[in-house]
Structure 1
């Protein structure tokens, strides 16, 4: 199973991020490439514990979270297209930005997983997760959005 904690996997994802350009259009979904980069930067800051984030599991997550997590990370199957995202991760600014600083931020965040330690982390739906579960989830989330833009 691929995980963000594997150096070769991180390198492959970073190489794919470097391919992104303003001309990339989504294969599915509503985000433009700039929004996708901002979404991933914010999302990874949340996982890594950078910035001010509240970690609390939603009620529905307490009921269904662990079942959904196991289903999502049980094998190499990529995430489905158009899976819902929590409101806190939706980027509403549709103005295109300079992609290079956002790409550099995302790459730096992926590299930070080399020293991952965020014992406060609680996923808003899945709840408390093991480091192994986090590693697979981060890989799959990153791969999902890169596939969304054809890279």
Structure 2
């Protein structure tokens, strides 16, 4: 599985993101390209901040869904989205995509970090799994917009 914490994975994602524009049309789902750029920021912010949390996660999700976050099998289209990650109002593509690019770079810059706190929903990930999760999420949404 590719990872956003490797030079190749980072370079690929950045190159694909640069192919997006305000005119990029979705192939599935309801988000605009600006909303997608906004939506993709949250998982990166969560990992970058790397804060300890009191949540133990959801045992059902950790047991039955967690491995799909970082394995080689592509996610299916139109997966449900957590309510706090749904973009309910229009988002400016230019500003949201610039912030997303900054976060992608900031995450990649942490490739040598040794300590990663657990995800509040999915629990503990290794550094490699964090990188794979971020790559897979971005890959899924870039494919959603044809890049």
Match of residue 84, structure 2, among 88, 91, 94: 88
Looking at structure 2, the residues matched to 128 and 115 of structure 1 have their Cα atoms a distance apart, in angstroms, of 21
Q: 1:122 deviation in Å?
A: 3.0
How many residues are aligned here?
Answer: 145
Q: Is the 8 A contact 1:69 1:126 kept in 2?
A: yes
Does residue 108 of structure 2 align to residue 109 of structure 1? no
Q: 1:78 & 1:16 partners in 2: Cα distance?
A: 17
Alignment partner, residue 29 of structure 1:
29
Residue of structure 2 equivalent to 1:62: 59
Q: Which residue of 1 aligns with 2:43?
A: 43
Q: Is the 8 A contact 1:55 1:123 kept in 2?
A: no
Structure 2: 5+ residue stretches without partners:
none
**TM score, norm. by length of structure 2:** 0.84
CA distance in 1, matches of 2:83, 2:53: 14
Q: Flag the 1:87–1:18 CA change in 2: closer, same or farther, 3 A.
A: same
In the alignment, the residues of structure 2 paired with residue 26 and residue 88 of structure 1 have an alpha-carbon distance, to the nearest angstrom, of 21
Structural RMSD (CA):
2.4
- Given that 2:34 and 2:97 are in contact with CA atoms closer than 8 Å, whether structure 1 keeps it comes out as no
Give the aligned partner of residue 100 of structure 1. 94
Shift of 1:24: 1.2
Deviation at 1:5, TM superposition (A): 0.7
Change (3 A) 1:119 1:56: farther
When normalised by structure 1's length, the TM-score is 0.82
5+ long unaligned stretches in structure 1? none
What is the CA-CA distance between 1:115 and the residue it aligns to? 3.3
